[in-house]
Structure formats: structure tokens, C-alpha cells
A and B are shown apart, each in its own frame.
Chain A
Amino acid sequence: MDTAALRVSLSLAIATVVVLLPLGIWLGHVLAVRSFRGKPIAEALVAIPLILPPTVLGYYLLTTFGARSPLGQAFEGLFGQPLAFSFAGLLVASVIVNIPFVVQPIQRAFQAVPDQLRDAAACCGLTPWQRFRRIELPLAWPGVVTAAILVFAHTLGEFGVVLMVGGAIPGETRTLSIAIYDRVQAFDDGAAGLMSAMLLLIAIVVLGLTAWLGRPLEQRRG
């Protein structure tokens, strides 16, 4: 078992959820309740990572993060290390890849809140922020939890983009999925099997949690 790879995978998954969830809640809410010009284009941009092959997405991210790109140069100037083939680069890539997995469930959850409840909340004297915090977010909460768990699970299993952007630097960018691939290439079936079983177990636990947390709050209280 490559514990360093497990640690990188878990760190990446947790950091991706922490960074992406506030953005996903904001963007999902905007797309659900507001009408604006260019909304179909915004929704298409959000969905792009779903249909692009991971290697294509990884290639574009790698060229964007590279040492010769403006972003890569700016990052290296600020932090003294390259963005490509680093944990920070991996995190940025992971956030971009996972945008549809967080935005779409949250957008659907906010769309499911009847407009009449928003109207009723406004008539109760709640400001737009109070309406969001006290009425819309609690009602959309199962969708938010589902999105967080989907992102966590998807990040743990991501392979193509991680390999393209991060390479396989032990303890820095080598995730569990890449470690499994390496072990298979080295005919080390024992280690590959153990790590695969670990990912399978995590997937089962995550799906169980999604099913439980995705139920409305009152049902969970019994």
C-alpha cells in the first residue's frame, strides 16, 4: 500500500471540495434563479469538463499552467515554484475538472425550490441574503451534500487529468489511481489489488453517505 499516494489523494479530494463548494453554491444558485443574457453559454461552459476527454482537458490545463504561459510565470514569480507538476497545479486542475459535478446538482436543487416560497419569504420581510440563508439553502441542502460527495469521490478516482497536469511525483502529485497504474505496470498485483480494494471501499462508503445525507433533514431525524 502506497500511503503517501493515499494521503495525496485524500488531501486533493478534501481541498477540492473545500475550494469548490462555495463557488458551486454561488454559481448553482445564480444559474437556477436568475435570467440573464448568455445563460445558455454559461451552462455550456460549466458542462464542458463532462464531455471533453480527460487527456484533452489535461493538455489544455498543462499548456495554461506551463512555465512559458503567463499564468505559469505569474505563479512562479509569486510562489517561487512552477504551477505544473505541483500539488497546487493539481488542485487548480481538479477544481476545474469538477465544476460540473458540483454546479449541476446544486443548480437542480435550487431550481426545485418553488418560486412561491421565495415570494413568501420576501413578503415575510427577509432580505435576499436572509432568504438564501434561511429558506433556499436549507431546502437545497441535500443537493449540496450530494455535490460535495460526488466531487470527493470523483477526485479520488480521477486519472487522466491528474497524470497530464501533475505527473507522478511521490508525495506531491502521485495519487492512488496513478499508484495503482504504476503497480500494474510493474506486475505488482498484490499492491495494485490492495489499493483498488481501498478505492472500492471508499466508493461504497461515499455512495451510502450520499443516499443517507441526500434525504431531506426531517426524514433523517426519523
Chain B
Amino acid sequence: MVDPGLEVVLRQAGPIRLDVSFACARGEVLAIFGPSGSGKTTILRSIAGLYTPIEARVRIGGATWVDTSTGVSVPVHQRAVGLVFQDYALFPHLTAVGNVVTALGHLPATERRGRAEALLDLVHLSQHRDRRPGQLSGGERQRVAVARAVARDPAVLLLDEPFSAVDRATRHHLQDEIDQIRRALNIPMILVTHDAEDVRRLATHVMLLDAGRMERIERSH
């Protein structure tokens, strides 16, 4: 049987208007493209379980995370989701490696540190692993956030405007690294952005969103 990947249906009239229905297969990157306030981040939060619209159905690999029609709702911490927040949301009291270890609770305690260091190597940040977020640049913090999201061993990776706070050169490096991670993980990825270059360089599909309503989905390249 073919793995259906991620299937999402979200609908409500308010307070945040949503009317979207889409799927994203393993290895695909769906970019949600639209102006500020169009509901892009709310879609990611609904998939992660941080927000539940009035009508919601989210299925991943055949498992149901939420279905408001049957009352099914898996708590956030039980959903294997990697979410990279727009402004990183790193834990300021923990080092880079400590942030990544936090997402490795599914591994035996003795393996967590080694796995966290390997993930920081993957995003070229091994030399700064013992620094706290306040001692890292914007691009370095974003790399820690990506490593932490991947550490969860996610079934879906959600990226909320991951390059909005970094300069052009760093943005290109990060785009390349995320593309490598996409190939390595082979999971559905949803990328929220309002930058056409992000869509061109990373997305396999693009959804145009306007005021919470899905205009259309098309192949990116």
C-alpha cells in the first residue's frame, strides 16, 4: 500500500478564517505562499496540534492526529512533528546541544548527547555546541532550531518562515542545508514563506493562500 503522506483538511469561518484541503507525499516540499495574515502559520500550528480549528482532519502515514468529526485529538507532545519557529524559539537557558537533547526523549539517555552532537555536525555547528542562544548569531540559532526539529525523528517537518531573520548569504546556506535534510529524511515538509526565492529553491509544490482560503496548488518545478 502506498504511504499517503500528510493529509490535511482545515475549515472554519472565524476567528481566523481557514478553508484548506491538501496532501503532501514523502519527499515533497509544499510551500504555503501568501501575504502576512493569510493564515499560513495557523495551518502549521493546526498540523502540530498547537491550534484546533472548528473542522480539522490531519492524517499522517495513515494515522489520525486530529479528526474533529470523531473527537480524535492526539496531544502535541505525542505527535512526531518537527517545527522550526519563525523566531527560533530556542530555550535560552540551555546550550545548543542542550536544546537538541530536549527533543531526543525518545532515545535512551546514554545516546542523546552523541545524537545531538551528530545533528549539530549536520548543520555545521559543532564548534558552537556549548554556547547558549544568546551567544549565537541569527543564522546559527536557526541552524540549532533546524537540528532540534529534526532530532524529534519527525513524521512531518514544518518550517515557519525559517529564513526571514537572516541575511541573503546565510539564507542560501540554510536553503542548501534544508534541501540536504529533505533528501536524507524523505518525509513530507511544509514550508511557510512569503519569499518567492524560497519557493523556487526548495519547494516541489506551492499552495497559494489568500485570507485563509486555498486558491490553488501547483507544481513548483
List A residues at the B interface (Cβ < 8 Å). 114, 116-117, 119-128, 130, 134-135, 138-139, 216-218
Contacts and interface: CB of A to CB of B under 8 A. Distances in A.
A126 B83 contact: no
A127 B77 contact: yes
29 contacts: A116-B85, A116-B87, A117-B91, A119-B50, A119-B76, A120-B85, A120-B89, A120-B90, A122-B49, A122-B50, A122-B76, A122-B77, A123-B48, A123-B50, A123-B82, A123-B103, A123-B152, A124-B102, A124-B105, A124-B148, A124-B151, A125-B103, A125-B152, A130-B105, A135-B102, A139-B91, A139-B93, A217-B93, A218-B93
B106 interface: yes
B155 interface: no
A120 B105 CA distance: 14
A116 B51 CA distance: 13
Nearest to A134: B102
B81 interface: yes
Interface in B49-93: 49-50, 75-78, 80-83, 85, 87, 89-93
B150 to A, nearest CB: 12
A43 B127 CA distance: 47
Contacts of B83: 119-120, 123
B30 to A, nearest CB: 19
Interface of B: 45, 48-50, 75-78, 80-83, 85, 87, 89-93, 102-103, 105-106, 132, 134, 148-149, 151-152
Contact of B91 (A120, A127, A216, A217): A120
Nearest to B132: A218
Interface of chain A: mostly helix, strand, loop or mixed: helix
A99 B49 CA distance: 36
Nearest to A114: B89
Nearest to B78: A125
B77 A126 contact: yes
A179 to B, nearest CB: 43
B152 A124 contact: yes
Nearest to B91: A135
Given A126-B77, A126-B105, A127-B77, A121 B91 contact: yes
Contacts of A122: 49-50, 75-77
A139 B77 contact: no
A138 B48 contact: no
Contacts of B90: 120
A84 to B, nearest CB: 45
A137 to B, nearest CB: 10
Contact of A123 (B81, B87, B92, B134): B81
